[in-house]
Every structure is written in structure tokens, then in C-alpha cells.
Chains A and B, each alone.
Chain A
């Protein structure tokens, strides 16, 4: 079984980098050889293409649902996304891209979990996370590790976070329409 932990985001767009920061901090752990940790700045079709060849994927990304304060953690699946993920006006959305993959029998993961961290600022260029999002990094890491363990996938401990308890907040489906 091939597993991919993928941090998504734009490293120079403030809180939009949080997914990448989480992935980078997990990269150095002693993972088994069938588990890959990486980061990427893509969505829609490109994201779907990146997932080809894996059985399980955990994506980490920023979210702007407005339903929770900055730093809150959501545990979602692609089915929870109302329509789009990193949608731009020249791409398909992740749910659509995944349906395309299924239609074409592309070997995409049978299970995708998304750890989404509520962001504060994603429209301003900058290399720092806002304080609430920075403070959420340990919980986000733990959420990833717990998701893996729940599926029977061995995940190493992240030393500094050992004392952080609790599962991510219960499934929240972000409001789609203002």
C-alpha cells in the first residue's frame, strides 16, 4: 500500500502556506518506505494527477470556511467540499477531477482525508503564518498522524507534540454560499 501525505499551499501567501509547513515538519520523521511526505502548490486537475499511484492520501491545506475561528482544525473528505478546491477560472475542481479520474480508471487513492486548518489571511503576500495558525501546527500534525493510525497505518510520534491531546474538531461542512 502506498501512502501520500501532501501539504498543499502557496509558501509566500501568508496562512496559505500552513499545509506546506505541516508537511515539511513531518517530512523528517522515520516513516516506513511506503509512506511519502511531500508538499505541492496545485489543485484541481494537477492535484488529481499528483495523487495517481497512491492507495491512501492525507492532504493538509488552509481553509476559509468562516465557520470556525483561525487555527481550528477540520477533518474533511472531498465529498465535504461544496464545489471547489483551489479553483481557478481555468481548472476543474478537485471533486470533478476525481470523478474524471474514476471515469478514466486512473489509479487514484481509494481514500482521501483532508486536514484543513482555518486560516486568517490568505490574500496578502508574506512568509509568516498569523499567530493563531502558527499555534495550530502541532494540532494539525497530530490530526494527520491520528488519521493514519485510525486506518491501521503505523505513524511515528512527533516528539514535541506528544502532550497535545484531542482529535480534530468534528466534521464541519463549510458554508458554500454567502
Chain B
């Protein structure tokens, strides 16, 4: 990229930020007045997955794509399973769809619980200026007690158990095949699953109550949530069912503008009519945006195609929640924050808890459906395979798997848009805005800068290629501020226990 100083003809070229190995980096460039001109957010990305798929049978995708993400393998499994159904143009029987959605609901409960208590929650429960060492699940326990921590572990345990019962394996489900599943569940298993689901509903309500008391009951936190620093008016997308209520497993993707007006919906292969990718010279990451609106840069507003895909987004893009307790919370959420849509990014943490409650209620709904134990869980595909798209809501955003195959069902091409990718643009914008509050006229307030910048992207629950696993895990987040000539003005880095940039 090139920075030009207006007073002289000096041109300064800064090399494109090269691929990072192992840590996230934020580069902030100041203008001649010392204010933030541009912010670049670089994260490592895993390479070559689409290429890796080529030559493999489509049936394998639901098992292989498990491995893209260390934390949401279930999401990739489901998207790949649905894509395989689409490739064969086969419709699984209702029991298969219900079992998949039941597994998925339990997974959501686990994932959202973990995020709230281990990651997002600490920002509030401990306070955004608490030392890094305390802003993690241990700090949370000190504040809310060991019993709550026990419940978190218990919640994870029951969620994993359901995934294992239906998905065949604890972490990486393997029972989805084109046309449905390889197995169903027995009545004994159903009873166990139902019981665990009812516990999950109680726990979800407990968590919302905790949020109410600790966060909403604290004026400083409320001011932070509704404040301008963490507010962006963008488009929002999320999957909805036939009644336009939030659904994680299936439906159509609803797209609403910054005023909350729905501009359309898409399903399957139609995503290509809606989502385009913007290439920027300073990064290998591509920024999805809404094609029909167009790219205007990293800006808010109705004319900017930047969109967001998060729990907040899903609530904004839907007309409500499909289960009663979650619907009550949905209404309270919007009533408290001044109507739809809500643009304050920190409210995503609250939206996540509402989704947690819905997931638990849906878990019980499905577990008590008379068809859930039926032996009809697979339809044999008979059509020639060719091309198909599977879309699900990963906890961190709309997940799209698109495969092309030959007539034998061998993958010839693949395209994946993972949850977090949807949010690259809004995340960059959120970081910039947070940084601007701490950097004015060349003065960089380093105290708290990193904390507040982290708070800016944590609500998005970003998934930075977390499929890699190697020690030592993480480099810290590194942030560099440069003046208009490119000289480094400030350099900060910080270990965070619960937030790491590691792939």
C-alpha cells in the first residue's frame, strides 16, 4: 500500500502485510493530523482446503470438513451433509432432518454457553478494564461462584453426549450421509436426551438472569453497550424458517438493511447472486459484501454492501424466535434497546444468550416429537450427482458449503464461506472505531487500547482457522500504530488467556 504525504512529493511504500504465522496483527495508520486514517486487521488463515477436497467422494465431505474447525466441527458437518443431499438432489426423511437439527441444537447450547462464560462474558462480568489475567472463566468463577462453573461443565457434558448419541462420535459427528443418517435413536436414548434438554432450558434461563443482574443491572456496562464506539449500522443476514423465525439448521437466508427492512431472501445456489467478495491489496483475506448493494468501502449505511452475520444479526434478520421463552426474551431485548434493528455490537453477547435459550427449547421440542425415534432415517439417492450447496448457521455466522462433482460424485471443485468470513469487513470497522477513541491528534492512549480493541471484535466470536492445534498456541495480539510516514509510533502486544488469534 502507498501512503502519500501531502506537503511533499515523498511517497512511501509499505509492503503488503505478509501472511502471518500464528498471530493476529492490527496495523493502524495515522493521517497527517495524527488521527486514525486506516486500520488493517490481519489474521492467519488456513490454506488450501478447497483444493484438498478435490478428488474426494462427496460423502466424505461431512467427515473431512469436521476438521476445518476445532470448535464447531458440527457446523461444518451439517453444511457438508446438506450440500451432499443437494448434490444428489435427495430429500432426507423428516426423522433424519429432525435428528440432525436435534444434534445441532445441543451443539449450539454447548457452544454459546462456552463463549459466554469463557470469552465474551468475562468482558462484562469482570469488567472491560479488569486485568487480562482475570478476564477469563476463572475470573468469572470468583465473581459468580463455583456452582455456576460446575453448571458450565455440566452443560458442555450433556451437549457433547447428545452429539455423540446422534452423531456417532464425541467431537466430530460422522453419521450424516447423502439422504439422511446411518442410524436413528432408541426410546431410551430419547428419554435421556429429553431430560438433558430440560436441564439445558433451566441453565439458559439462569444465564440470562445472570446477564440481567450483572450486566444490565450495571449502568456503566449498559452505557458501554449502547455507546457509539461499538455501534455500526450495517446490513444483517441470518437463516429463518418458513415463518421467518430464527432457525440454525435450515430455511432461507434473510437479508435486512440497516433500517431493518427485508430486502430479500436466498437459499442454496442463489447465494452467488447475493454475496460477492472484495479483494483488497493489503491482505489475502477476501471481504464478502452484498452484490445487490455494492462495495463502497469499509463504511456503514444503506449504500454500503457491508453486512454482518452473528447472533445479533440473526435476531435482526428474523421476525422472532420460534419457541415461547426465547420469544419473550427477544421482545424484551428490542424493547430495552429501542427497537429493531439493534446496531450496538456489544448487544451480541445478549443475543447469544437468547439463542442459547431457543436452542435448548428446540432441543426439547425435537426430542419430544413422535417421529424422532422412527426407523425411517435415510432415503437412498437415485439421481446423478452434480452440484449442490448446503447452508447452515454456524454460531459465528452463516456457513456455506458449495461442491461440484463429476457423475461419480467425486468432488471437482469446492467453495466454502465460513461463518467468520462474513464478518471480516464489519470486524475491521469495529476495530477502527474502537481505536479512534484512543488515538487523537497523534496522541496514543495505550492504557486500555488493546482491551477495548479486543472488545470490539470479541462479540463476533471470530473463528481464525482454529483447526490448527499446535503449541504454544498463541502469540498475543500485536497492534502497531504508524504515523503518516509509516514510522512506528506505538507498539503493543498482549497475552490474552481467553482470546487468542491462533489458527
Contacts and interface: CB of A to CB of B under 8 A. Distances in A.
Contacts of A85: 471-473
Contact of B47 (A42, A87, A104, A125): A125
Nearest to B44: A123
Question: Among A11, A63, A84, A100, which residue has the most Cβ atoms of chain B within 10 A?
Answer: A84
Contacts of B23: 178
Interface residues of B, number: 62
A49 B149 CA distance: 13
Nearest to A106: B153
A123 B70 contact: no
Interface residues of A, number: 54
A145 B170 CA distance: 28
A116 B150 contact: no
Contacts of A10: 67, 70, 467-469
A149 B12 CA distance: 60
A66 to B, nearest CB: 9
A88 B496 CA distance: 11
Interface stretch (A21-29, A75-83, A134-142): A75-83
B70 A43 contact: yes
A72 interface: no
Interface in A120-145: 122-126
Given A10-B67, A177-B475, A86 B469 contact: yes
Contacts of B64: 12
Interface in B449-475: 458, 461-475
Given A89-B499, A89-B500, A100 B472 contact: no
B473 A93 contact: yes
A123 B503 CA distance: 8
B208 interface: no
A71 interface: no
B431 to A, nearest CB: 14
A52 to B, nearest CB: 9
B502 interface: yes
A155 interface: no
A153 interface: no
Contacts of A93: 473-474, 497-498, 500
A89 B495 contact: no
B493 A87 contact: no
B501 interface: yes
Given A86-B473, A126-B52, A174-B471, A104 B150 contact: yes
Nearest to B111: A90
B114 interface: yes
Contacts of A81: 471-473
B153 A49 contact: yes
A82 B171 contact: no
Interface string B130-151: 0000001110010000100110
A46 B67 CA distance: 15
Contacts of A43: 70, 469, 473
A88 B463 contact: yes
A55 B153 CA distance: 20
A165 interface: no
Contact of B118 (A9, A13, A91, A177): A91
Given A103-B146, A123-B44, A124-B47, A92 B497 contact: yes
Nearest to B25: A178
Contacts, number: 200
A88 B471 contact: no
Contacts of A40: 171
Interface in A153-178: 174, 176-178
A99 interface: yes
Contact of B465 (A65, A83, A92, A123): A123
A3 interface: no
B472 A82 contact: yes
Contacts of A61: 469-471
A112 interface: no
B172 interface: yes
B118 to A, nearest CB: 5
B299 interface: no
Nearest to A67: B472
A41 interface: yes
Nearest to B420: A89
Interface in A2-50: 8-13, 15-16, 19, 40-43, 45-46, 49
A41 B172 contact: yes
A96 B458 CA distance: 19
B22 interface: yes
B141 A177 contact: no
Given A91-B114, A93-B497, A123-B21, A13 B46 contact: yes
Contacts of A19: 469
B11 interface: no
A147 interface: no
Interface in B38-54: 44-49, 51-52
Contact of A62 (B48, B465, B470, B474): B470
Contact of A177 (B46, B119, B493, B497): B493
B322 interface: no
A56 interface: no
A148 interface: no
Nearest to B476: A177
A119 interface: yes
Contacts of B472: 63-65, 81-85, 174, 176
Contacts of A41: 67, 70, 171-172, 469
B118 A45 contact: yes
13 contacts: A9-B470, A10-B468, A64-B22, A83-B497, A84-B473, A89-B119, A89-B500, A90-B463, A93-B500, A96-B497, A122-B469, A125-B47, A177-B493
Given A13-B67, A122-B469, A178-B478, 18 more contacts: A9-B469, A12-B64, A41-B171, A49-B160, A62-B469, A64-B470, A65-B472, A82-B472, A84-B495, A85-B473, A86-B466, A86-B470, A88-B70, A88-B502, A90-B119, A90-B463, A176-B495, A177-B493
Give me the 9 closest cross-chain CB pairs, A-B, nearest first.
Answer: A84-B473, A88-B466, A87-B500, A62-B470, A84-B474, A125-B52, A63-B471, A87-B473, A174-B472
